[in-house]
């Protein structure tokens, strides 16, 4: 059985991109997470120690996303996936969507970004 913990709309200012102004000024990114795990134990015990702390996941995500400036969203999302899987052994897989609402694209668009899924066992 796989259950899901999710965090949506996590807004983080970071300096990712290939253009100079992106790395100098930075911009807002929005991250959505789906964390796949077994929640049967905490659903019965009602104890935080039996699950994954949302606050800890957000802190880990923010740190992994902001602490290094990446050129590609793919790499930034991969860094978040790696950090989550290494810090939270209860999480079997993670799906990360990184939205870049102000991407330097000469077009009118609603959203652009990357979505990747990583698991402990491919």
CA 16 to chain centre: 14
Active site residue 66: no
Residue among 66, 71, 95, 100 flagged as catalytic = 100
CA distance 96 to 94: 6
Question: What is the spatial order of strands in the sheet that 27-37 belongs to?
Answer: 3-14, 27-37, 93-99, 113-119
The answer to whether residues 53 and 7 touch, using CB atoms and an 8 Å cutoff, is: no
Tell me which residue has tokens 């740190």: 63
**Which residue, 85, 90, 89, is CA-closest to 116?**
85
Residues forming the active site: 100
């Amino acid at each position: 059985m796989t259950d899901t913990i999710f965090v949506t709309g996590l807004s983080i200012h970071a300096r990712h991109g290939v253009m100079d102004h992106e790395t100098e000024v930075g911009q807002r990114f929005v991250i959505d997470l789906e964390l796949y795990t077994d929640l049967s134990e905490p659903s019965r015990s009602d104890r935080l120690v039996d699950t994954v702390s949302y606050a800890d996941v957000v802190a880990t995500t923010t740190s992994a996303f902001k602490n290094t400036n990446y050129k590609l969203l793919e790499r930034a999302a991969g860094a978040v996936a790696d950090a989550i899987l290494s810090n939270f052994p209860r999480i079997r897989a993670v799906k990360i969507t990184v939205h870049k609402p102000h991407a330097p694209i000469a077009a009118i668009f609603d959203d652009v970004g990357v979505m990747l899924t990583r698991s402990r066992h491919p």
